[in-house]
Amino acid sequence: MDADTVNRELSIARKAIGWWQRQGWIAVDPTIGIERRPAPPDRTRALAENQIASLWRLDVALLEKMLYDSAARGDEVLSLNVEDLYQADRRGKITAKDGATEWIHWQSATAQLLPRLITRRTRGPLFLAGRKAPAGTPTLDVCPETGRARLSYRRAEEIFEEKTRLLANPLASPEDIEDLDGWTLHRLRHSALTHDAEGGASTPILLPGPAMPPSAPWSGTPAPASTRSPGTSRSATPPHVAGTDSGYGSTLHCGSEIGDRGHERRRAAAAYH
């Protein structure tokens, strides 16, 4: 049996044995000395829709919602600055792996929570760590208004992994949960692309398209209708991402929006590996 199966069966057995001991039926735990098998987290398997729904019922942060909305890579989303956001279009400007500029899109739940995360900030990193930046931190990774550092991918992954251990191991006993692995941030990206493909999104929709001009940055005024990009119209069907052109934050309560991701939040499926 693989490691996940062994660990699951061992957790079930120990839960039963603990109850038998409380009833006085047995005195010792016969599984003492049996160790859990190392099981590295699966960074490729897509989460099911019901698992995503369970995740949103947790006290999750805006970062997780934006990652699922946009299907962008975690390091790309964490590199966002406040001045990179275009509120009217519900999108932000990122730098892709090859250094090209691309756009990620998000849904209304994310858009409604962004003001709580940004508060009165007008520039600097969007997602911040919980403490002041240590000496020597690059200026671009420090919020000029709060002095806090940009949230690192490593720390964001640690927070998410710890938060999702119970969801990833529903049969584990409380005493075993600290030794188990939760989900990885990468699985949100994979899940988003998988769910769109299962929903019938075609290859041209999942691939990058031509760049669209921005309407107005986060702190500005929405552009006139004559210059606004197609993504701002309720009746339009915007692409997932306009292609190349050359702390954590508020908690989330997304309700029934799981099936309403739409085309506007998807990045290139061909690049998600």
Report residue 102: phi and psi, to 5°. -135, 170
| Pairwise CA distance, residues 253 & 58, whole Å | 8
Q: Which two three-digit tokens encode residue 58? A: 């947790």
Q: What's the one-letter identity of residue 139?
A: T
| Pairwise CA distance, residues 222 & 208, whole Å | 25
| Residue with token string 């942060």 | 61
Residue 149: predicted pLDDT: 95
**Entry pTM:** 0.62
CA dihedral angle for residue 144, residue 145, residue 148, residue 151, rounded to 10 degrees: -80
| Pairwise CA distance, residues 195 & 206, whole Å | 12
Q: Which residue, 121, 123, 130, is CA-closest to 151?
A: 130
Cα angle for residues 231, 233, 236 (degrees, 5° grid): 75
| Residue with token string 């500005």 | 220
| Pairwise CA distance, residues 149 & 129, whole Å | 6
Judge whether 152 and 78 are in contact, CB under 8 Å.
yes
Residue 7: predicted pLDDT: 83
Judge whether 74 and 153 are in contact, CB under 8 Å.
yes
Residue 155: predicted pLDDT: 93
Q: What is the pLDDT along the chain (273 residues), one digit of tens a residue?
A: 778 788 888 888 999 999 999 999 999 999 999 988 886 655 557 888 888 888 988 877 889 988 888 888 888 899 999 999 998 889 899 877 777 888 888 888 788 888 889 988 999 999 999 989 999 999 999 999 999 999 999 999 999 998 998 888 888 777 778 778 888 898 888 888 888 888 776 544 444 444 454 554 544 333 333 333 333 332 333 333 333 333 454 444 343 344 444 444 444 333 333
Sign of CA dihedral 16, 17, 23, 26: positive
15 Cβ neighbours under 8 A, 6+ residues apart:
171, 173
Alpha helices for the chain (secondary structure H): 3-22, 49-56, 62-70, 74-78, 108-118, 153-163, 165-168, 186-198, 203-206
Tell me the β-bridge partners of 104: 92
| Residue with token string 């107005």 | 216
